[in-house]
Amino acid sequence: MFRLQGSKVLAVDMTGDAVKAKNGSMVAYDGQMNFKKLTGGGEGLRGMVTRRLTGEQMTVMEVKGHGTCWFADRASEINLVGLQGDKLYVESSNLLATDAGLRTGTTFTGLRGASQGNGLFTTTVEGHGQAAIMSDGPAVALRVSPQYPLIVDPGAYIAHQGNVRQSFQSGVTFRTFFGEGGGEAFQIRFEGDGLVYVQPSERNTIAGDL
């Protein structure tokens, strides 16, 4: 029921079912729709407290109704991700909408988050259904397999799914500190089996300056 209208607009056809979407991201709808803000991402009190603590405070609304609802956010490119029981890790700022049946939560990302300037926690989406994630420019989904690990610039990383381990690697040498660095001082290394979504743009990170 999620479909893309062009690359920057998400159209959701609903017949009495619901979606969770970023607050205020509706641009138009026809038919009959209801908008309700979800407290703390819709997992009750515990979810709310976690969100407050972790700073992954995404304000989410539940849209329910009959008809078509269109979502967009600051002309970002939108990518559809299908989930079959696996887990999607995504920065809350890059998450536009999910099927209401998907569970959302937060996890600790460790150093990677700090290097991206996104904080130490990231949002997880789990279950069966579809999610729409946003990127600056069209994103590509790169496969990670046990034989082929993938190394990604922290500023270009937007999301990943599957059974993937991530570690942080640094190419900082004495040259970096003398201002002769390659500009690629930090990377995230993904190993295992899954997909990593990468955008053709680099958001500003602490690591990017080194």
Partner 1 sequence: MAFREINSKMVEATVLPGQRLFSQRGAMLAYKGDVSFTPNLQGGQGGLMSMIGRRVTGEATPLMTVEGSGTVFFGHGGHHVHVINLTGDTLYVEADRLLAFEGTLRQGTMFMGSQGGVMGLVRGQVTGQGLFTTTLQGQGSVAVMAHGGVFEIPITPQRPVHVDPQAYVAHHGDVRNKLSAALGWREMVGRGSGEAFQLELSGNGTVFVQASEEKL
Q: Which residue, 29 or 89, is less far from partner 1 as judged by CB?
A: 29
Q: Contact region for partner 1 (CB under 8 A) — 24-32, 86-94, 137-145, 149-157? A: 24-32
Distance CA 34, CA 21 (A): 12
Q: Contact region for partner 1 (CB under 8 A) — 22-30, 96-104, 135-143, 179-187? A: 22-30
| Contacts of partner 1 in 59-88 (CB under 8 A) | 59, 61, 67, 70, 72-75
Q: Are 189 and 150 in contact (CB under 8 A)?
A: yes
Q: Report the nearest approach of partner 1 to the CB of residue 28 (Å).
A: 4
Residue 169 binds partner 1 (CB under 8 A): no
Single residue of 37, 52, 128, 143 touching partner 1 by CB under 8 A? 37
Residue 44 binds partner 1 (CB under 8 A): no
- At a CB cut-off of 8 Å and minimum separation 6, what does 144 contact? 150, 160, 162, 164, 190, 191, 192, 193, 194, 195, 196
Q: Report the nearest approach of partner 1 to the CB of residue 136 (Å).
A: 12
Give the dihedral sign, CA 177/181/186/191: negative
Tokens 């994103």 belong to: 139
Residue 201 binds partner 1 (CB under 8 A): no
Q: How many binding residues for partner 1 (CB under 8 A)?
A: 27
Which phi and psi (to 5°) does residue 116 adopt?
Answer: -85, -10
Residue 52 binds partner 1 (CB under 8 A): no
Tokens 């976690």 belong to: 50
Q: Which residue, 35 or 168, is less far from partner 1 as judged by CB?
A: 35
How many other C-beta atoms lie within 10 A of the C-beta of residue 46?
10
Q: Contact region for partner 1 (CB under 8 A) — 23-31, 85-93, 141-149, 168-176? A: 23-31
Q: Contact region for partner 1 (CB under 8 A) — 12-20, 32-40, 111-119, 185-193? A: 32-40
Residue 30 binds partner 1 (CB under 8 A): yes
Distance CA 40, CA 20 (A): 12
Q: Of 196, 128, 127, which is closest to residue 165 (Cα–Cα)?
A: 196
For 149-171, give one letter per residue: b (16+ CB within 10 A) or e: ebebbbbbbbbbbbebebebeee
Interface positions with partner 1 (CB under 8 A): 5-9, 23-31, 33, 35-37, 39, 59, 61, 67, 70, 72-75
